[in-house]
Amino acid sequence: MASDRPVREAENRLEHFNADRERLLAEVERRVVARRVAESKLGGDASLEYVLNDVAFSEIKRLEASRQKNGALDRWKDLSRRLMAMSEPDKEQELRDLVRYYGRDVVGNFDPRVYKFATGIGPSLLNTLFSPTTAFRQGFGVLGNLDQRIHPDGEVELAHRCAERGTVIITPTHSSNMDSPAIGFALMRAGLPPTTYGAGKNLFTNPFISFFMRNLGAYRVDRRLRFELYKDVLKEYSTVLLEHGYHSLFFPGGTRSRSNMIEKHLKLGLLGTSVTAYKNMVREGHANRRLYVVPATINYRLVLEAETLIDDYLAETGKSRFIITDDEFSRVGRIVEFFRKILAHEGSVVVRFGRPFDPFGNDITDDGESIDRAGRQVDPATFVRGASGEVTDDDQRDAEYTRALGRRLSAVYPKLTVFHSTHLVARALYDEVARRAGTRDIYRLMRVAQSAIPKADALAAIDRLRARIAANPAWGAEHPGFVNQASADKLADGVKGLSTFHTRVAVEERGDSLYASDIKLVYYYQNRTAHIPVESSS
Amino acid sequence: MSRAETVGIIGAGRFGTALGSVLARAHRRVILWSRDPAIVDAIQTTRRCPRLPEAPLPEPLAATADPRVLAAEARFLVMAVSSTNVRERARELGNFLDGSHIVVHAIGAFATPSSDPAARSDGAPREIGRVSEVVAQGLPTLKIGALAGPALPADLVAGEYASMVIASAFDEVVAEGRRLLNAPPQLRLYSTKDLVGVELASALSGAYTVALGLCDGLGMGVGPRAVLITRAVAESSRLGQASGAEPRTFAGLAGLGNLLVRAGGSATPGVRSVDYELGRRLAEGIVTADAQRTEGARAAIAGAELAAKLRVRMPVLSGVAAVLSGRAEPREVAALLGDTVAVEE
């Protein structure tokens, strides 16, 4: 490790966040306003009038659709009316006000009392923070032991060294709203610093989960706001956080994977802020400060929202729902049930960390130095420099770099996948069902009557699947705690999980036969293995 | 002139030398790199390259055998080496380049497969290497592009009008290429983002040149020749589309343009390529050993494998590959032209 590492910048600074908050917001405001004003000289779509109108139009449309009856709608209508008569300085002031308004909306409040509570200092705060419902207390009680059931593994040591040397960006797969607390606990258990991250604003309405979000330094992302200025504020906020050494977490998949397949097509919006932040750091003369992107997978034995997610995925009309507000996550009782089931099972959640990349998708050495595809050490700062060594701005170039990083992430996710018994049993059963029906098409399988699958056949299929996985590490691996488990036990455990947790029974056991009672749920769980080719003989 | 205004050319072969000559004559600073010190000496002392002695190499052009000098003097580099050497040259030069360099290759062929089992997989297909993928494996920079089109060294040296297309996913690569390589009126550059299309079209045009040599060797006449050319564009476009490329690229400079120039025409006798001559020899029943295969022959076999993998029907290309592999007679392949199922064009 280099001796001149920027320790001051690398340490966890979340605890200093409140002191930094105003400075960060001011920096976001300064940058966004300066950029927009400079671009407005080009006129057309870049003019301040267009930018402000875009905000007003989008907000009016959103509020009218939501039928909210408050003064907000009038505010935007008023802005829309005044816009034509406004002078350029007035427009600039309006822009500044809006950037500040959305900046504050994104940052929210970081409550140090909550943070202290999370670190075990203030448990008495519990009653003041949450409504004392029975379900909630039960939920919280079991949650206290949740971290015992979360197993972090993989390249933890290297991630730790990277967090010491520079700023890390954890980039996990995303399948559940429980991902945030799960990875939070995983980071804690792995001895890694907590991260800041963007979470859907709708999630903050659930006091139970909101508690943990705040602990983890979550900022709020309002996905209903689609206009460019809001995205600008959001990206700039993320950029500024990274530049100031705040470890961050992005879900590159964007939203939860509806199908439960490992994400292939990543949304690169926030991920792109890693290149921008690093470029800014180099420009400021801090080329030796490093940013590291740490791939991770979060692997659940059971996914809380499985039923809603797979229904949404398969429903032709609902396939593209971006925000789901009425899923299992919105029902505290289901969350409690989820925790209860999780606690009943050792290692129900495995978070596997991969080797970090630099922001350009380069591998790194054990010392955190970037290496190119031929294994040679390369200075990452050169990727943003021009012919004379000057740092150059080129959004298209940076977007290509981010795409390259995204390709590396999506290529490494399968290898980091951990298969629970539920996945293996679901895959084996789906293979057997598909073989008998002559099709793997889920829509066709949903229409045919489910035939009995002899347990012996399912067991043989599991045996073959396990052997294939063991022979192909690039596909992922079995849960490390159950590699030596007998296939019969694996089958029993998977069937138990798939038949008892969800409100719908996914797999039924009758005598010596198994039935895929809910083929959609079986499909959902087997999808975690979707990158594993179908057996050629089946 | 500054580093930003300098073009580095990797390889003092016929094309690299001709391009250097055109640019130097347009008062562009050029640094030509060759591994062979004798060639470097010859250029420095006689202002001529032994591999293309008819090309004048005036003063703005310098030659070096030192890759450090090349990397330090130029950020924009054109790689003009043989497809069989590209992997090794990229690895060799990669020791001296960094993330800021821009590398554009001018190799109209597929790269030969790697013998290195440890080559990193980043999701791209490994079996049949596009040259940019191979170059990317050897260099630190990600800013890579391709230069292709019907610009023959002889035409460039003679001052004939020539056009090429530069392709890259990076706008900066294309913009810098057009800024530094455009030498109007003699050399004009067109641009595209379709790197996959340009590389496939350029490599496959070599394969179809073999087919045209076969066609001419069999004495098939002007009509079948025209059919062959249009079917070549059609089927290579289909393969391109299946590979993520834009079909129209195959009717452009890298595809049709390359095919027409490589197979030669009555106006330019003597410029027909080795691929074309190979096709003629095959038509005469002369069997060619694997070691003597041309880039076009290798492209035919590799392209046919890719087509099979992507399930794209390519009767002409598959037929040429079959003749080259000894699985079919030239006459049988000629029959394929009349044998294709009549479908919408």
Query: What does the mean pLDDT of chain A come to?
Result: 84
Catalogue the E-assigned strands of A401-481. Answer: 418-419, 453-454, 477-478
First to last CA, chain A: 51
CA distance A376 to chain B (A): 7
Higher pLDDT pick, A18 / A209: A18
Q: Span B210-216, mean pLDDT?
A: 91
Residue A149 has φ and ψ, to the nearest 5°, of -100, 0
Cα distances (angstroms) measured from residue B62 to each of A131, B28, B42, B104, B147 = 79, 11, 11, 19, 22
Inter-chain residue contact A372 with B139, CB threshold 8 Å = yes
Higher pLDDT pick, A293 / A16: A293
Query: Directed axis angle between helix B131-138 and helix B195-217, to 10°?
Result: 130
Tokens 């060639």, residue located: B39
CA distance B180 to chain A (A): 13
* Residue B271 pLDDT exceeds 70: no
* Residue B10 pLDDT exceeds 60: yes
Q: Which residues in chain B have their CB less than 8 angstroms from residue A384's CB?
A: 99
Q: Give the pLDDT of residue A4.
A: 40
Task: Name the nearest CA neighbour of A304 among A524, A151, A531.
Answer: A524
Residues A51 and A40: their CA atoms lie apart, in Å, by 9
Q: Which residues in chain A have their CB less than 8 angstroms from residue B169's CB?
A: 400, 403
Among chain A residues, the shortest Cα distance to B72 is held by A387
Contacts of A227 (CB under 8 A, 6+ apart): A54, A55, A57, A58, A59
Pull the structure tokens for residue A223: 């996905």
Q: Give the pLDDT of residue A18.
A: 75
Are B251 and B205 spatial neighbours (Cβ–Cβ below 8 Å)? no
Q: How confident is the model at residue B336 (pLDDT cuts 50, 70, 90)?
A: low
Q: Give the pLDDT of residue A137.
A: 43
Among chain A residues, the shortest Cα distance to B92 is held by A374
Among chain A residues, the shortest Cα distance to B133 is held by A373
Q: Give the pLDDT of residue A492.
A: 95
Q: Give the pLDDT of residue B332.
A: 79
Q: Determine the residue type at A442.
A: I
Tell me the three state secondary structure of residue B204. Answer: helix
* Residue B126 pLDDT exceeds 50: no
Inter-chain residue contact A387 with B4, CB threshold 8 Å = yes
Among chain A residues, the shortest Cα distance to B138 is held by A374
Are B270 and B181 spatial neighbours (Cβ–Cβ below 8 Å)? no
B287: left (phi over 0), alpha (psi -120 to 50) or beta: beta
* Residue B64 pLDDT exceeds 60: yes
Are A287 and A342 spatial neighbours (Cβ–Cβ below 8 Å)? no
In the 8-state DSSP scheme, what is residue A476? -
CA distance A360 to chain B (A): 9
- Length of chain A (residues): 538
CA distance B143 to chain A (A): 9
DSSP string, B169-193: S-HHHHHHHHHHH-BTTTEEEEEES
Contacts of B162 (CB under 8 A, 6+ apart): B149, B150, B151, B152, B155, B156, B186, B187, B188
Q: Give the pLDDT of residue A25.
A: 93
Contacts of A37 (CB under 8 A, 6+ apart): A48, A92, A95
Q: Residues A349-388: pLDDT tens digits? A: 899 999 999 999 999 999 999 999 999 999 999 999 999 9
Q: Give the pLDDT of residue A477.
A: 97
Q: Residues A409-464: pLDDT tens digits? A: 999 999 999 999 999 999 999 999 999 999 999 988 998 887 899 999 999 999 99
Neighbours of B272 (CB within 10 A): 20
Q: Span B33-50, mean pLDDT?
A: 95
CATH of B197-339, one of 1.10.1040.10, 3.30.2350.10, 2.60.40.10, 3.40.50.300: 1.10.1040.10
Q: How many CA atoms lie within 13 A of B143 on its CB side?
A: 29
**Of A55-59, A80-84, A104-108, A382-386, minimum mean pLDDT range:** A104-108
Inter-chain residue contact A401 with B123, CB threshold 8 Å = no
Residues A299 and A320: their CA atoms lie apart, in Å, by 24
**Of A130-134, A310-314, A468-472, B125-129, minimum mean pLDDT range:** A130-134
Highest mean pLDDT among A215-224, B133-142, B331-340: B133-142
* Mutant choice from A357, A370, A400, A413 vs B, greatest count of B C-beta within 10 A: A400
Residues A538 and A519: their CA atoms lie apart, in Å, by 19
DSSP string, A283-309: HTT-TTS-EEEEEEEEEESS-TTHHHH
Tokens 């875009």, residue located: A54
Q: How confident is the model at residue A201 (pLDDT cuts 50, 70, 90)?
A: confident
Pull the structure tokens for residue A111: 């409550």
Higher pLDDT pick, A288 / A199: A288
Among chain B residues, the shortest Cα distance to A414 is held by B123
Q: Determine the residue type at A280.
A: N
Size of interface A-B (CB pairs under 8 A): 76
CA distance A504 to chain B (A): 37
Q: Which residues in chain A have their CB less than 8 angstroms from residue B145's CB?
A: none
Residues B84 and A459: their CA atoms lie apart, in Å, by 50
**Of A11-20, A58-67, A407-416, minimum mean pLDDT range:** A11-20
Nearest CB neighbour to B142, from listed A379, A385, A401: A401
Report the 3 state secondary structure along A4-66: CCCHHHHCCCHHHHHHHHHHHHHHHHHHHHHHHHHHHCCCHHHCHHHHHHHHHHHHHHHHHHH
Inter-chain residue contact A373 with B143, CB threshold 8 Å = no
Q: Percentage of residues in chain A with pLDDT exceeding 70?
A: 80
* Helices and strands (DSSP H and E) totals, chain A: 22, 14
Q: Residues A134-172: pLDDT tens digits? A: 334 444 454 555 556 788 999 999 999 999 989 999 999
Q: Which residues in chain A have their CB less than 8 angstroms from residue B98's CB?
A: 378-379, 382
Q: Which residues in chain B have their CB less than 8 angstroms from residue A403's CB?
A: 169
Contacts of A526 (CB under 8 A, 6+ apart): A423, A426, A427, A429, A430, A431
Inter-chain residue contact A376 with B139, CB threshold 8 Å = no
Q: Which residues in chain A have their CB less than 8 angstroms from residue B137's CB?
A: 373-374
Nearest CB neighbour to A407, from listed B98, B122, B138: B122
Residues B283 and B216: their CA atoms lie apart, in Å, by 8
Pull the structure tokens for residue A107: 């940052």
* Residue B282 pLDDT exceeds 70: yes
Q: How many CA atoms lie within 13 A of A450 on its CB side?
A: 22
Q: How confident is the model at residue B293 (pLDDT cuts 50, 70, 90)?
A: confident
* Residue B39 pLDDT exceeds 80: yes
Q: Which residues in chain A have their CB less than 8 angstroms from residue B4's CB?
A: 386-388
CA distance B142 to chain A (A): 8
Q: Which residues in chain A have their CB less than 8 angstroms from residue B140's CB?
A: 372-374, 376, 378, 382
Contacts of B303 (CB under 8 A, 6+ apart): B110, B128, B200, B203, B204, B207, B236, B239, B314, B317, B321
**Of A45-59, A246-260, A360-374, A510-524, minimum mean pLDDT range:** A246-260
Query: What does the mean pLDDT of chain B come to?
Result: 88
Cα A97 from chain centre: 30
Pull the structure tokens for residue A90: 């007035």
Residues A184 and A176: their CA atoms lie apart, in Å, by 14
Are A297 and A416 spatial neighbours (Cβ–Cβ below 8 Å)? yes
Pull the structure tokens for residue A69: 């009856």
Q: Cis omega (within 30 of 0) on the bond before B185?
A: yes
Inter-chain residue contact B171 with A394, CB threshold 8 Å = yes
Q: A291: which strand partners?
A: A167
* Residue B163 pLDDT exceeds 90: yes
Element (DSSP H or E) covering residue A474 = none
Q: A170: which strand partners?
A: A249, A294
Q: Determine the residue type at B62.
A: A
Neighbours of A395 (CB within 10 A): 11
Nearest CB neighbour to A386, from listed B100, B120, B142: B100
Nearest CB neighbour to B123, from listed A374, A400, A410: A410
Residues B316 and B235: their CA atoms lie apart, in Å, by 8
For chain B, list residues whose CB is within 8 angstroms of any CB belonging to chain A: 2-4, 75, 91, 94-95, 98-100, 120-123, 136-143, 169-172
- Per-domain boundaries in chain B: 3-193, 197-339
Inter-chain residue contact A396 with B172, CB threshold 8 Å = yes
Q: Which residues in chain A have their CB less than 8 angstroms from residue B75's CB?
A: 386-387
Nearest CB neighbour to B121, from listed A380, A397, A411: A411
Inter-chain residue contact B2 with A387, CB threshold 8 Å = yes
Q: Determine the residue type at B148.
A: A
DSSP string, B107-150: --SPBPPPS-TTPPPSSS--SSB-HHHHHHHH-S---EEEEESS
Tokens 């039928």, residue located: A67
Tokens 């890298």, residue located: B254
Tokens 């360099």, residue located: B101
Residues B290 and B301: their CA atoms lie apart, in Å, by 11
* Mutant choice from B97, B98, B135, B176 vs A, greatest count of A C-beta within 10 A: B98
Q: Span A524-530, mean pLDDT?
A: 96
* Residue B326 pLDDT exceeds 90: no
Residues A475 and A69: their CA atoms lie apart, in Å, by 52
Are B33 and B67 spatial neighbours (Cβ–Cβ below 8 Å)? yes
**Of A227-231, A402-406, B273-277, minimum mean pLDDT range:** B273-277
Handedness of CA A332, A338, A342, A343 (dihedral sign): positive
Strand-strand pairing, A167-172 and A218-221 = unpaired
Q: Give the pLDDT of residue A364.
A: 97
Q: Give the pLDDT of residue A124.
A: 32
Catalogue the E-assigned strands of chain B. Answer: 6-10, 29-33, 61-64, 76-79, 102-105, 144-148, 162-167, 187-192
Residues A48 and B254: their CA atoms lie apart, in Å, by 43
In the 8-state DSSP scheme, what is residue B325? T
Q: Give the pLDDT of residue A107.
A: 84
Neighbours of B56 (CB within 10 A): 12
Q: Determine the residue type at B114.
A: S
Are B132 and B144 spatial neighbours (Cβ–Cβ below 8 Å)? yes
Q: Which fold has domain B3-193?
A: Rossmann fold (3.40.50)
Q: Which residues in chain B have their CB less than 8 angstroms from residue A408's CB?
A: 122
* Residue A96 pLDDT exceeds 70: yes
pTM of the model: 0.88
Among chain B residues, the shortest Cα distance to A385 is held by B100
Inter-chain residue contact A400 with B170, CB threshold 8 Å = yes
Pull the structure tokens for residue B244: 């993520």
Inter-chain residue contact A360 with B142, CB threshold 8 Å = yes
Q: B269: which strand partners?
A: none
- What is the maximal distance between C-alpha atoms in chain A? 80
Q: Give the pLDDT of residue B178.
A: 97
Q: Which residues in chain A have their CB less than 8 angstroms from residue B171's CB?
A: 394, 396-397
Q: Span A526-530, mean pLDDT?
A: 96
ipTM of the complex: 0.89
Are A350 and A153 spatial neighbours (Cβ–Cβ below 8 Å)? yes
- Length of chain B (residues): 345
Q: Which residues in chain B have their CB less than 8 angstroms from residue A407's CB?
A: 122-123
Q: Give the pLDDT of residue A346.
A: 64
Q: Give the pLDDT of residue A312.
A: 86
